[in-house]
Structure 1
Amino acid sequence: MGDRLPRVRVAAVQAAPVFLDREATVEKACRLIQEAGRAGAQVVAFPEGFVPGHPLWYHFHPATGERSREYAARLFANAVTVPGPETEALGQACKRVGAWAVVGVCEKQRGTTGTLYNSLVFLSPCGRVEHVHRKLTPTVGERLVHAPGRPVGLRVLDTAVGRLSGLICGENSNPLAVFVLLSQHTMIHVASWPNLPGRGMLPRSERALLAGRAFAFTAKAFVVNACGTVDDRMRGMLAYTDEDCAFLACPELAGGSSVVGPSGEVVAGPLGPEEAVLYAEVDLERCVYERTVHDFAGHYNRPDVFELRVRSRPPQMLRWVEEGRTADGPEAAPAVWDAGHIEQVTERSRT
């Protein structure tokens, strides 16, 4: 009989957030997780920055303008700490229906007053946060509010429904990031996309399909493209000129969620701009079938020729340097104190 991989029902949530309202958006996300789970979905994928919304205002307002700075402050106020009350609520929704959810959030670093990350939170059917990926390189206007992520997020989870991974927007077309995940044998990959592209770019559905099909064909994996969309609340908050209103009303720019198979074929979708949940049943045996021809993590590669190194050491923001001393005088090399050492010394001085 032999080994056999499962068939898995996946769902791509295509929806608009309750823009810059964390609590209302989490409530909406919980409803959508439960709706998808009751429809049989075992993996539920959400758009980029779904909670509490993506910093789209930089498409329409000057970066230093009053409206942009006001919205940036609201984004921080409504950002999510991980773990925190919002991830607890999302996890409980997953637990109620026994599904995985991969949710795009604007993550607030605990204990800071300005550091944000563009993150994907992986929540298990047990209701726990199992993994967080922070977007490595913020794109265009995101750089004004989001800090770069670290490579620790480039991880594939081994789950009962297959090996699960995720990347955010343009990362899905980064060849090195793609290779890191395919080398860990991803089978179901969530590609999380924002509500709409910038002016002059391809429509969202075309961009997501292009990157999704390339990822799927290279990794021999299923790709769930979860794309955001725009509602009337967002149009009213974002538009500055009549031209902005016309752009935001253009139906082919938003949405476009889809599911792509391991040979690059479109399994489901793409959707139009409307709010909807897209479902597909995927047979993970297809990953094995396609990898018998091209397995870039195995027999169809040359590790004696190619090697990719990923730097995992975290950067040190603060380093205090003093001249070390021996019994005979100053040492040639300075002693370096990192922030943790300073904290220990400070605590000892208090006692």
Structure 2
Amino acid sequence: MKDQLLTVALAQISPVWLDKNATLAKIENSIVEAASRKAELIVFGEALLPGYPFWIALTDGAAFDNKIQKELHAHYAHNAVCIEQGDLDSICKLAKDHSIAIYLGIIERPLDRGGHSLYASLVYIDTLGNIKSVHRKLQPTYEERLTWSPGDGHGLRVHSLKAFTVGGLNCWENWMPLPRAALYGQGENLHIAVWPGSDYNTKDITRFIARESRSYVISVSSLMGVKDFPKTTPHLDKILEKAPDVLGNGGSCIAGPDGEWIVSPVLHTEGLIIETLDFSRVLQERQNFDPVGHYSRPDVTQLQVNRERQSTIRLDEDSASVLK
């Protein structure tokens, strides 16, 4: 029954803010450490690579045609992740080398949307080092819309991992009933919720989703403080004028399928949180409630999900006629 047990690692770390390469190094170190501690899945927070856009709320981010906002956005874009150009290749290699699955929150600059706009994406990499899904956040929240673009349903997918079926959502997407239902309906029983860093976000919704779905829920948040702002950050003096010492206090946690804490929110502590989950507890709690099984009424209500990857253009051409 070893497949019934899954050892998970919650990587509650800070980025080297807006520095892709330095943050990648921290992520790689966490993966190696998690593997050395026998973890089979490691989860990182929302937008960890290369960091959350805290400057927007601190520097009048809605100012139109503003030099500061333009230069900070360009710096963000330079440090964003382009999967097609191999930015995650080292992470995929570590996943394969250590037989560990990974959920990683990134800021993505995808070529299939022109290569200039940014998306808050949650990437799942399997134990063979293959990227199996890239979920672009459906609706950026409030000021996030000034730098992130809305995603699509392509990444609303689940993945088999030993006896478990895992799926994930970004930050306030976890409050959206229909995306949650889209994952439940595909058999999800281990839900991954990633956050930029605050127990304000994790302390209620983590247990709620667990009780609603009768699944394990892992919430992973980052840490962030002014010490994590590199001195090379554009307009750092302006950002620091209003920045509190702590911008993200963590709050990573795990709830069981009964909605009770396995690990209550951990604050102000950087490092890995390791726990082993037992799949049989999912079946125990589904005995009296299953939101997409015996306690559902698909003859009355059903959800339709569009998982097509959205693009501005669709190129139809005869490849034989294309000049080489």
Q: Do they superpose with TM above 0.5?
A: yes
Tell me, in whole angstroms, the C-alpha distance in 1 between the residues paired with 2:237 and 2:202: 24
Are positions 1:97 and 2:98 aligned together?
Answer: yes
2:127 counterpart residue number: 125
How much does 1:185 deviate? 1.6
Whether the 8 Å CA contact 2:124–2:134 is kept in 1: the answer is yes
Tell me, in whole angstroms, the C-alpha distance in 2 between the residues paired with 1:168 and 1:218: 18
1:109 counterpart residue number: 110
1:249 counterpart residue number: 246
Whether the 8 Å CA contact 2:7–2:277 is kept in 1: the answer is yes
1:199 counterpart residue number: none
Question: 278, 288, 312: which is aligned to 1:317?
Answer: 312
1:40-66 deviations in Å (ceiling 9; x for gaps): 111100000111111111110122343
1:223 counterpart residue number: 217
2:59 counterpart residue number: 61
Larger radius of gyration: 1
Structure 1 unaligned spans of 5+: 196-203, 319-338
How much does 1:113 deviate? 4.4
1:10 maps to a residue whose letter is V
Q: 1:70 to 1:241 in 2, by over 3 A?
A: closer
Structure 2 unaligned spans of 5+: none
Are positions 1:287 and 2:292 aligned together?
Answer: no
Tell me, in whole angstroms, the C-alpha distance in 2 between the residues paired with 1:36 and 1:134: 26
1:17 counterpart residue number: 15
How much does 1:4 deviate? 8.5
Does the residue aligned with 1:10 lie in a helix, a strand or coil? strand
1:45 maps to a residue whose letter is V
How much does 1:96 deviate? 2.6
Are positions 1:48 and 2:43 aligned together?
Answer: no
Tell me, in whole angstroms, the C-alpha distance in 1 between the residues paired with 2:173 and 2:145: 14
Whether the 8 Å CA contact 1:4–1:285 is kept in 2: the answer is no
2:200 counterpart residue number: 206
2:150 counterpart residue number: 148
Does the residue aligned with 2:29 lie in a helix, a strand or coil? helix
2:160 counterpart residue number: 158
Identity of aligned residues (%): 29
Q: 1:350 to 1:42 in 2, by over 3 A?
A: closer
How much does 1:216 deviate? 1.1
2:32 counterpart residue number: 34
How much does 1:212 deviate? 1.1
1:233 counterpart residue number: 228
How much does 1:38 deviate? 1.0
Whether the 8 Å CA contact 1:99–1:124 is kept in 2: the answer is yes
Does the residue aligned with 1:72 lie in a helix, a strand or coil? helix
1:340 counterpart residue number: 315
Whether the 8 Å CA contact 2:39–2:274 is kept in 1: the answer is yes
Whether the 8 Å CA contact 2:84–2:110 is kept in 1: the answer is no
Tell me, in whole angstroms, the C-alpha distance in 2 between the residues paired with 1:30 and 1:56: 24
Tell me, in whole angstroms, the C-alpha distance in 1 between the residues paired with 2:237 and 2:11: 25
1:254-292 deviations in Å (ceiling 9; x for gaps): 211111111111101311123121111111111111011
Tell me, in whole angstroms, the C-alpha distance in 1 between the residues paired with 2:130 and 2:259: 32
2:87 counterpart residue number: 86
Q: 1:163 to 1:83 in 2, by over 3 A?
A: farther
Whether the 8 Å CA contact 1:258–1:269 is kept in 2: the answer is yes
How much does 1:345 deviate? 8.0
* Alpha-carbon RMSD: 2.5
Higher deviation after alignment, 232-241 or 257-266: 232-241
Does the residue aligned with 1:136 lie in a helix, a strand or coil? coil
Report how many aligned residue pairs link the two structures.
316
TM-score under structure 2 normalisation?
0.89
Question: 251, 254, 265: which is aligned to 1:270?
Answer: 265
Tell me, in whole angstroms, the C-alpha distance in 1 between the residues paired with 2:157 and 2:277: 21
Q: 1:271 to 1:305 in 2, by over 3 A?
A: same
Tell me, in whole angstroms, the C-alpha distance in 2 between the residues paired with 1:28 and 1:4: 31
